[in-house]
């Protein structure tokens, strides 16, 4: 059976859900936040160590100012509603992405949650917020070059390069789930997903449930992970 330490989710389909239900896009994002709360508590109960969720990409600034502003207010709504419960469940909050462009008020709320939960030892709920994988890789390269010039490091290998990424302290991503049926990565974790299993489902994120997560995990468990090798004891 495949271990599942690190689950990553591209939470897509909030806008389509809103359209389907004839409500504003913002209502889709709000419902998405409630679903994230449920999935976090459930994933923690399953013993998953890390849940990385794509909440806002470096490309999502292209959306209307109204939509972007609303998304920037969601961390406040999420933590105000759920921080107590997250603490009770021993959940730790982390963030990956470019924090510079995020409004100071939003960052303050996120940093407070990170601080409050820093000693928790249960699931890590890791928000990819203003995250872009190309941006992450370029930053890592730049930082390595600086350290090299300063004489702090010598040669680079895969492991050392990974230590310059936002995900340095996190386990390998085992499973990526994308809701909302699009077959693309949209600039998410390009380096980290090299050997992850992918499950893309039609369900829109606001309709996602713990039962659907169970189905995705069952699919993952049934996969044969090769990592480029082959089982010499088998005849296939």
Q: Is 13 in the site for ligand IPE (CB under 6 A)?
A: yes
Is 97 among the residues that bind ligand IPE (CB under 6 A)?
no
What count of other Cβ atoms lies within 10 Å of the Cβ of residue 220?
21
Q: Active site includes 44?
A: no
For residue 60, indicate whether it is catalytic.
yes
Identify the residue among 4, 12, 91, 177 touching ligand IPE (CB under 6 A).
12
Instruction: Please give the Cα distance from 179 to 9 (Å, whole number).
Output: 8
Q: Smallest distance, Å, CB 131 to Mg ion?
A: 15
CA distance 54 to 130: 9
Binding mask 14-33 for ligand IPE (x = CB under 6 A): xxx-----------------
Residues 6+ apart with CB under 8 A from 189: 8, 52, 128, 133, 167, 173, 176
Which of the choices ligand IPE, Mg ion, none does residue 210 contact, using the CB cut-off of 5 to 8 A by kind? none
Dihedral angle sign, alpha carbons of residues 95, 97, 98, 104: negative
- What residues numbered 5-64 form the site for Mg ion, per CB under 5 A? 12
97 binds, among Mg ion, ligand IPE, none (CB under 5 to 8 A by kind): none
**Closer to ligand IPE by Cβ: residue 18 or 217:** 18
């Amino acid at each position: 059976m495949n271990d599942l330490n690190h689950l990553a989710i591209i939470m897509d389909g909030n806008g389509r859900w809103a359209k389907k239900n004839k409500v504003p896009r913002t209502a889709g994002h709000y419902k998405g936040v409630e679903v994230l709360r449920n999935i976090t508590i459930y994933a923690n109960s399953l013993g998953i160590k890390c849940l990385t969720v794509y909440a806002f990409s470096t490309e999502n600034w292209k959306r209307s100012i109204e939509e972007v502003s609303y998304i920037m207010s969601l961390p406040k709504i999420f933590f105000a509603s759920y921080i107590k419960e997250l603490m009770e469940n021993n959940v730790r909050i982390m963030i990956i992405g470019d924090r510079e462009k995020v409004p100071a008020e939003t960052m303050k709320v996120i940093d407070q949650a990170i601080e409050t939960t820093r000693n928790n030892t249960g699931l890590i709920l890791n928000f990819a917020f203003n995250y872009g994988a190309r941006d992450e890789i370029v930053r890592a390269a730049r930082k390595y070059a600086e350290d090299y010039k300063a004489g702090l490091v010598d040669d680079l290998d895969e492991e050392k390069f990974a230590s310059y990424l936002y995900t340095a302290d996190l386990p390998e991503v085992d499973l990526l789930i994308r809701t909302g049926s699009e077959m693309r990565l949209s600039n998410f974790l390009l380096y980290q997903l090299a050997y992850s299993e992918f499950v893309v489902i039609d369900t829109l994120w606001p309709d996602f449930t713990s039962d659907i997560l169970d189905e995705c995990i069952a699919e993952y468990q049934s996969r044969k992970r090769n990592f480029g090798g082959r089982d010499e004891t088998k005849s296939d």
